[in-house]
Structure 1
Amino acid sequence: MKKLILSACFALAGLVGLTTTAHAEGFTLKGEPKIAMLYISPTNDGGWTQAFEEARQRLEKELDMKIQYVESVPESASAIRPAVERFIKRGTNIIIGTAFGYSDTFKSLSEDYPDVAFLNGSGTTNGPNLLSYYGRTYESQYLCGMAAGAASETGKLGFVAANPFGQVNWTINAYAMGAREMNPDATVTVVYTGAWNDPTKERSATKALIDQGADVIGQHVDTPTPQLVAQENGVYGTGHHRDFREFAPKATVCSSVWVWDRFLKNELEKIIAGNWVPEPHGALLSMEQGGTDIACCGPNIDKEEEAKIMAARDKLLKGELKVYAGPLKDQNGNVHAEAGEVVSDGDLWQMDWFVDGVITQQ
């Protein structure tokens, strides 16, 4: 995910609903809905933005309406504001962003254009006509961890990550817990590249993990490079953002995939219906709510193992399985959830600890 520097402060600053009509307390469009999307990267980036583009195409069919878009809009107000205002001048009244770095500008724009609805994927700002949203990626990564644990012959897994932020660490921990569900002795060695999209660093990190004995490579970076390197070296891997079997079919055993249209269809229908009241602190989406899902399963996973993974998926989709439920301790024995408790969202965003089996390398 591009430039996503979310941390504990993703306690998204929210506001209460604003009355926009005489009979309603929420936001109501004036005129027929016209939707546009802003992408931070090219639509064929293979990861984060392409997942949004594929969701846009599905939404056009599901909503039976055209959705305009512009790609490669950088995270600066000088680029974001003109792009949005061009759409508004053409009559667009629903704007969807796709980047953390759009947050402040979208907040300002939502105040300047109170008759326009704004949504922003991975954003941190909210208001009476602005909703930011993100997904609980640890759920799908838990399932990919199960696949990795099943596919591994050695129990030594590697993980290529961008930055040691809470929402990256929660994927790593969940990945390790999923792997240990299949192999209690599994370990996950993590290398942080310091960048969301740096194929050169990702290649070096992946090769180093393979040289250290990892036979399955997980990832939380924006490109399919770790999967490509895994395939080149005859090991397995799990993808992030999209189904990376497209790039490495012989290596990819599972991918955590965004399914933004599942959430956006419902939210856009609420906006179109009128009296829309955005969640005051933003939307953190479970698999059940349409955040992520998995594309599974690839090579070296037998039918019994696949059935176990898909049974866990079914429980997550029904809201019956909580990944971060107690009793839960970190490597130092600190308790983060007692039996019967679930780690709070605030603590998830601040996650700077690791479960047993995780080995971190900078």
Structure 2
Amino acid sequence: MKLSKKILTIVFTLVLAVALVGCGSQEKPKAAEEGKKDAATDKLKVAFIYVGPVGDGGYSYAHDLGRQYLVKEMPDIETTIVESVPEGADSERVLTELAEKGNKIIFATSFGYMDPVIKVAQKYPDVKFLHCSGYKTADNVGTYFGRMYQARYLSGIVAGKTTKTNTIGYVAAFPIPEVVRGINAFTQGVRSVNPNAKVNVVWTNTWYDPAAEKEAGKSLLETGADVVAQHQDTPGPQQAAEEKGKFGIGYNSDMSKMAPKAVLTSAVWNWGPYYVNTVKAIKEGTWKSDQYWGPISDNIVDLAPFGPMVPEDVKQLVETKKQELIEGKFDVFDGPVKDQTGKERVAAGQKMSDADMLSFDWFVEGVEGTIPK
């Protein structure tokens, strides 16, 4: 009986020792994991809010490609995204939450976020806010955009050379200066190679509504358009063109994968280098609030590769005009420029100012349609 007790005592001691060793081995990974978390919290936190889903294949997708480029180039930062944030009050809530969670840089990527950004920025002076396509700034708020109208002009050349009916459709988003400027630039490009062509405009008042945007494209095709351009975030108009055996000009990102038989090219964004340069400047303490409006020479805007249906002579023409834009030999709205009534708005030898381009509220000659108030 005593021997049994001794044996039990020895066994119990061994089991206890093993248990203690086991507990020790569990504590080490836990400590290591805590160390990883501590290291992660030391990373600069950068947030992005998108008006649509990343999977839209368009605007928000292009911004997220830029974010991914940023992460690749600067692995010492931590990024957060919030998708499908409506413009207005809800965006104010999201911006506030992102600031409260320790994000020191917040990129708000849609025009309608402008006033909420300004309001929230006042409460968080140590956070830098970058607002895309807006015009209001503060000490800790800057704006950024690219001269997409230059890429629009180039895509208009392709459309003007492609159309056989001399009727080109344009599915427009909201009647704001950015969209009006894009329509005008596209039309300037069309008519630079085809003065007889006209551009018909249909408004959807959407950024992301695949069904509505596709239907708008169909309506333009049914009234004689054989090329369709767009300003929304979905490939709906391009898909409508493909179903009708017609052609289209995509936007935001290369839309050829979604409608390979229709897409001639796409006017595209390349946000990555801007995001890297901006975050580096903030980290280094050299950033100052400004209104960045990058030209095609900065590569922030460009054209996607041409579809196989685009002839070589058209590709060469576009490349020649692109180089002239890059070299500053001309710009899209250099005079003479007339409005759709035939009235001269920019005289020959004159250049339209940035302020006038940023407040566009009239259509150029060749546009068929009106701008809703």
Assess same fold via TM > 0.5.
Answer: yes
* TM-score range for the pair, normalised by the shorter chain length: 0.7 to 0.9
* CA shift in 2, pair 1:90/1:354, >3 Å: closer
Shift of 1:318: 3.5
What are the residue-to-residue correspondences of 1:211-250 with 2, within 5 Å?
Answer: 211-250=222-261
Q: Does 1:195 align with 2:196?
A: no
Q: 1:183 to 1:101 in 2, by over 3 A?
A: closer
Larger radius of gyration: 2
Aligned with 2:359 (options 345, 350, 357): 350
Structure 1 residue aligned with 2:87: 75
Alpha-carbon distance in structure 1 between the residues aligned to 2:212 and 2:82:
29
Any conservation in 1 of the 2:249–2:264 contact (CA below 8 Å)? Answer: yes
Quickly say closer, same or farther: Cα 1:62–1:186, change in 2 above 3 A. same
Mapped to 2, the partners of 1:72 and 1:221 lie a distance apart of: 14
One-letter amino acid of the counterpart of residue 259, structure 2: A
Q: 2:64 aligns with which of 44, 49, 53?
A: 53
Q: Could you tell me how far 1:252 is from its partner in structure 2?
A: 0.3
Shift of 1:188: 1.3
Q: Contact 2:95/2:117 (CA < 8 Å) preserved in 1?
A: no
Q: Letter of the 1:296 partner, please give it.
A: P
State the Cα distance separating 1:322 from its structure 2 match: 0.5
1:179 is aligned to: 190
* 8 Å Cα contact 1:252/1:299 also seen in 2: no
2:323 aligned with 1:301, yes or no?
no
Match of 1:20 in 2: none
Q: Distance in 2 between matches of 1:101 and 1:331?
A: 28
Q: Deviations over 1:254-304 (max 9, x none)?
A: 11111111322222222122132111xx22332223442111311432111
Q: 1:36 aligns with which of 44, 47, 61?
A: 47
Tell me the alpha carbon deviations over residues 106-135 of structure 1, each in whole angstroms, 9 at most, x when there is no partner: 223222222221112233431111112222
Q: Which residue of 2 aligns with 1:133?
A: 144
Tell me the distance in 2 between the aligned counterparts of 1:322 and 1:359.
23
SS in 1 for 2:332: coil
Q: Secondary structure at the match of 1:131?
A: strand
Cα gap change, 1:299/1:151 in structure 2, threshold over 3 Å: closer, same or farther? farther
Which has the higher mean CA deviation after the structures are superposed, 180-189 or 142-151? 180-189
CA contact (8 A) 1:149 1:180 kept: yes
Q: Any idea what the Cα deviations from partners look like across 1:29-73, whole Å, max 9, x if unmatched?
A: xx8633221222221122111111111111111223342222233
CA contact (8 A) 2:267 2:301 kept: yes
> Which secondary structure state, in structure 1, belongs to the residue aligned with residue 143 of structure 2?
strand
Q: Which moved more, 1:84-93 or 1:240-249?
A: 84-93
Counterpart of 1:359 in structure 2 is: 368
Contact 1:60 1:67 in 2 (8 A): yes
Query: What is the distance in 2 between the residues matched to 1:153 and 1:304?
Result: 17
Q: Is the 8 A contact 2:171 2:201 kept in 1?
A: yes
Match of 1:318 in 2: 327
Provide the TM-score with structure 2 as the length reference. Answer: 0.81
Distance in 2, matches of 1:172 and 1:123, equals: 18
| C-alpha separation in 1, matches of 2:90 and 2:203 | 31
1:88 and 1:204 map into 2 onto residues whose CA distance is: 39
Partner SS state of residue 210, structure 1: helix
Alpha-carbon separation, structure 2, partners of 1:278 and 1:230: 42
Deviates more, 1:217-226 or 1:232-241: 217-226
- Residues 268, 301 of structure 2: 8 Å contact kept: yes
Q: Distance in 1 between matches of 2:230 and 2:254?
A: 13
Q: Partner letter of residue 368 of structure 2?
A: I
Q: Which amino acid aligns with 1:283?
A: Y
Q: How many residues align?
A: 329
Contact 1:151–1:300 at 8 Å: present in 2 too?
A: no
SS in 1 for 2:202: strand
Residue 198 (structure 2) pairs with residue 208 (structure 1): no
| Stretches of structure 1 lacking an aligned partner (at least 5 in a row) | 1-30
Q: For the residues of structure 2 that align with 1:256 and 1:148, how far apart are their CA atoms?
A: 12
User: Counterparts of 1:348 and 1:94 in 2: how far apart (Å)?
Assistant: 29
The amino acid of 2:289's aligned partner reads P
- Aligned equivalents of 1:32 and 1:202: distance in 2? 41
Q: 1:173 to 1:85 in 2, by over 3 A?
A: closer
Is contact 1:147–1:297 with CA below 8 Å preserved after alignment? Answer: no
State whether structure 2 residue 269 is matched by structure 1 residue 258: yes
- Aligned partner of 1:118 in structure 2 is 129
- Kindly indicate whether the alpha-carbon contact (under 8 Å) linking 1:74 and 1:80 is maintained by their aligned counterparts in 2: no
Structure 1 248/304 Cα, relative in aligned 2: closer, same or farther at 3 Å? same
Residue 14 of structure 1: aligned partner = none
Q: TM-score, normalised by structure 1?
A: 0.83
Matching residue of 1:288: 297
Give aligned-pair identity as a percent: 38
On the 8 A contact 1:73/1:80 being kept in 2, the answer is no
Structure 2 residues without counterparts, runs of 5 or longer: 1-41
**How far does residue 78 in structure 1 lie from its aligned partner after superposition?**
4.9
Q: Secondary structure at the match of 2:296?
A: coil
Is residue 336 of structure 1 aligned with residue 348 of structure 2?
no
